[in-house]
Amino acid sequence: MTVHSKIHYSPRAFEKVGKKIGYNSLRGFKSTFGLRPQVCAAVWIRIRNAHGAKPDHLLWALLFLKNYTSQDDLSGRVGCCRNTYSKWTWAMIEEIAALYDSVIVWQNRKKGGKFNKWCWITVDGTDFMIQQPTPFSKKWYSHKFKGPGLRYEVAISIMGGNIVHTNGPFPCGSFPDITIFRNHLVDRLQKGEMAEADLGYRGEPRKIRLPCDWQTEVEKGLKTRARSKQETVNKRFKNWGILKQQYRHPLRDHQVVFRAIVVMTQLDIELGASLYKM
């Protein structure tokens, strides 16, 4: 990791750097860059930086991910040429994505204990819009937004509220949720362990607890809250313009973008933006 003075790691330092780009309040910082200053500092200190990057470059990347407007527009906003902006933006996105294995930890599903005697996690698929690949194929079609998309599987620890697993991307049309589950996650569950999921996961009664699988009214309500946590995380992903809008960059880079946002979402959870308690 390149050594920088401590001020470069502090939330206040990121506020100062951010003001050069333009925002009017702490709320404005998050609406501009997608993260609170303290989360920016947490991301920065974890990056194993070998490229001589500065905190400014991290904010350039966040500006791009949050707003997803043209790089000509964004480079003008930060006061550099398009090539320089693109170089540092993608370098930072790749650095953040490289933190995935150290931040998204499967064993963290056990923090806080089991939700019931079967489950530590909820699981769901989330779809993101892309431009229509050529040649045209129905395999990309997502029924959620009636157009081409990529699907990722996401698992959340029910009691701890952490992101503990993702898998993807997959073409939406040819990979329903249950197929993706059988692709990998089913083999990660321990003997006797199950996951809470919606009706899209019918067909694995030994591994999936569906919304209708409840024994008391109390359990029914808790299962609803657990799935709501999952939806909250999926919505947080789409607070980022690059995942909310139609993705316009090469599909080979989509996983890097997604993983970077997963990492930042998890760090945000750890630093106070936690999901509500069960």
Q: Which DSSP string do the residues of 184-229 spell out, in sequence order? A: IIHHHSPTT-EEE--GGGTT-TTTEE-TT--SSHHHHHHHHHHHHH
Mean pLDDT of all residues in 59-86: 96
Mean pLDDT of all residues in 172-176: 98
pLDDT of residue 7: 41
Output 8 or 130, whichever has higher pLDDT.
Answer: 130
Name which of 225, 232, 275 is nearest 115 in CA terms: 225
- % of the chain at pLDDT higher than 90: 78
What value, to the nearest 5°, has the Cα angle with vertex 99 and ends 90 and 106?
140
Distance of CA 200 to the CA centre of its chain: 21
pLDDT category at 113 given cuts 50, 70, 90 is confident
- % of the chain at pLDDT higher than 70: 95
User: What amino acid is encoded at 62 in this protein?
Assistant: L
pLDDT category at 4 given cuts 50, 70, 90 is very low
d(CA 218, CA 216): 5
Q: Is 163 in contact with 233 (CB distance < 8 Å)? A: yes
pLDDT in tens, 223-267: 899 999 999 999 999 999 999 999 999 999 999 999 999 999 999
Mean pLDDT of all residues in 96-106: 98
C-alpha distances out from residue 160 to 21, 136, 229, 269, Å: 36, 42, 11, 10
Lowest mean per-residue pLDDT among 138-147, 183-192, 205-214: 205-214
Name which of 167, 179, 209 is nearest 192 in CA terms: 209
pLDDT category at 278 given cuts 50, 70, 90 is low
Name which of 75, 92, 34 is nearest 240 in CA terms: 34
